[in-house]
Amino acid sequence: MRTRAFHVVFGVLLLMSGACGKGGEHAPETAPASQGGPLQQIGPGEGEVSIVAWAGYIERGETDKSYDWVTGFEKETGCKVNVKTAATSDEMVALMNEGGFDLVTASGDASNRLISGGKVQEVNLGLIPSWSTVDDRLKDAPWHTVDGKHYGVPYQWGPNVLLYNRKVFPQPPTSWGVVFTEQTLPDGKSNKGRVQAYDGPIYVADAALYLKHHRPELGIKDPYALNRDQLNAALDLLRQQRKLVGRYWHDAMVQIDDFKNEGVVASSSWPFQVNQLQAANAPAASVIPEEGVTGWADTTMLHADAPHPNCAYKWLEHSLSPKLQGDLAAWFGSVPAVPAACEGNALLGAKGCETNGFNDFDKIAFWKTPTADCGDGRKDCVPYHEWVTNYIAVIGGR
C-alpha cells in the first residue's frame, strides 16, 4: 500500500493555496456560480481514470488478493485506474487545486472547501443507477449537498477510534484522557512518549470534544464551531499533550509499525490500523470513549475539469456496488454507504457492519471545515486557516 509523507512545510504552503480563500479568509461553505450543468450522458471511456484517495480505499489485490475492486472494473470498462494516495484532507485539497485528477475520496473537512472553491462539479445522479441504494442518512448530507445540488457520491464512513494496547490496558480505557493528560497507565508506567496524535489541523476538534465533556463552562456545543476562547482552550490542551506525544501520525502504515515496534500504547486512529494490527496478531483493540468521537464520512467527488469524465462516471457507479462496498468495509473497518453491502459478504461477515459502527451514526461528530459562521446565528467562530497555523505551531513546540 502506498502512502505519501506529509510535512509541516506542506502545511505552511497550504496556507497560500487550498486552505484559504481570497484575502486570507476561508471560503464560505456555499457553491460557486454554475459554469454549466453536469454531464448529460456517458460516452465511450477515455481509457483511464485518476483518483486521489485515502490509503486502503482503492485496492487491486496487491496487498491481499482477497481485496480487489479495481481489476474487474478495468476489464469491464477499459478504464485503467490510477491512484494518488493522500495522507490528510489538506493534502487532498492541495492536489485537487493542482488539477489533473478526475476524482477524490474527500472527507467532510475537505468537501465543502472543494465545492466553494469551484474545484468539483455537480454530479448527474440520473447517470448513477445505484444512487437509489445509498443509505438515506447520507443522501442529502451537507458535506456534499449544497443548494439542493449533489457534488459527489457517498463512499464510506466511520469513527476516529481510540487504539490501545491490550497488554497495557487489561480493561478498555474509558476516556481520551489517556492521550491528552499525563498519567500513570495500568502497567505502572507513565504515558509520556507512548502516545500519538493525528497530524492534521482538524484534530483540534478532538481536543474540543474532550473539553466539551470535561469543561462544560466553556460552552462548546459543536467541536468544529469554536469561538476564540474555546479555540484557545483546545490549543492549551494540545500544547499540554505535545509533551506526551512520541509522534504525530499521518501515515497509517507508519502508525502500525510504531504500535508493533516503537512502544506506542494509545492513540487516535482509524479502524483500518486496528484491523491490520489484529490481523498481524498484535495486542491491539479500539474503543469509543465516554467523550464520544470525531469521524469521517467520505464522498467520491468529480473534479470540475476532470480529464476523463466518462470513465469517472463509470467509477462512480462501480463505487456503489454492494460487493465493493462490503469488501472495502471489511478491509478498512469502515461502514458502507450502501446498506445492502452489509448482507451476504463473506469478507465482512454477518455482523461486520454492526461491529464497524453502523448503529453509531448519531454518536459521531463528523469532520467539517470550520468557518467564521458558527451555524447557529453567531459569526464569531474561528475559521479553518487559523486552525492550520495554530496547529502547526503546536506540533512545532510553540
Instruction: Look at residue 288 and tell me if it is in a domain.
Output: yes
| 204 and 165 co-located in one domain | yes
Domain that holds residue 326: 8-18+38-158+297-362
Instruction: Look at residue 47 and tell me if it is in a domain.
Output: yes
| 153 and 163 co-located in one domain | no
Instruction: Look at residue 1 and tell me if it is in a domain.
Output: no
| 14 and 148 co-located in one domain | yes
The whole-number pLDDT of residue 19 equals: 38
Per DSSP bridges, beta strands 293-302 and 153-159 are: antiparallel
Whether the Cβ atoms of residue 215 and residue 164 lie closer than 8 Å to each other: no
Instruction: Look at residue 27 and tell me if it is in a domain.
Output: no
| 68 and 140 co-located in one domain | yes
The amino acid that residue 69 corresponds to is W
| 277 and 304 co-located in one domain | no
The whole-number pLDDT of residue 36 equals: 60
The whole-number pLDDT of residue 87 equals: 87
CATH assignment of the domain containing 334: 3.40.190.10
Q: Coil, helix or strand for 4?
A: coil
| 342 and 269 co-located in one domain | no
Instruction: Look at residue 31 and tell me if it is in a domain.
Output: no
H or E segment to which residue 11 belongs: helix 8-15
State the first-to-last Cα distance of the chain, in angstroms, to the nearest integer. 34
Low-confidence stretches of the chain (pLDDT beneath 50): 1-34
Per DSSP bridges, beta strands 335-336 and 48-54 are: unpaired
What DSSP string runs through 85-109?
A: EESSHHHHHHHHHH---SEEEE-HH
Reported in sequence order, the residue ranges of the chain that DSSP labels E, i.e. its strands, are 48-54, 80-86, 103-106, 145-146, 149-150, 153-159, 161-165, 195-198, 245-249, 266-269, 284-287, 293-302, 335-336, 364-366
Reference 87, options 164, 5, 203, 209; nearest CA is 5
| 358 and 381 co-located in one domain | no
- Cell matching residue 244: 506526551
| 131 and 272 co-located in one domain | no
Whether the Cβ atoms of residue 299 and residue 152 lie closer than 8 Å to each other: yes
| 56 and 172 co-located in one domain | no
Reference 152, options 32, 286, 302; nearest CA is 302
Q: How far apart are CA 260 and CA 294, in angstroms?
A: 25
| 103 and 166 co-located in one domain | no
The whole-number pLDDT of residue 21 equals: 34
* pTM tops 0.75: yes
Instruction: Look at residue 65 and tell me if it is in a domain.
Output: yes
Q: How many domains is the chain built from?
A: 2
Whether the Cβ atoms of residue 369 and residue 216 lie closer than 8 Å to each other: no
Instruction: Look at residue 32 and tell me if it is in a domain.
Output: no
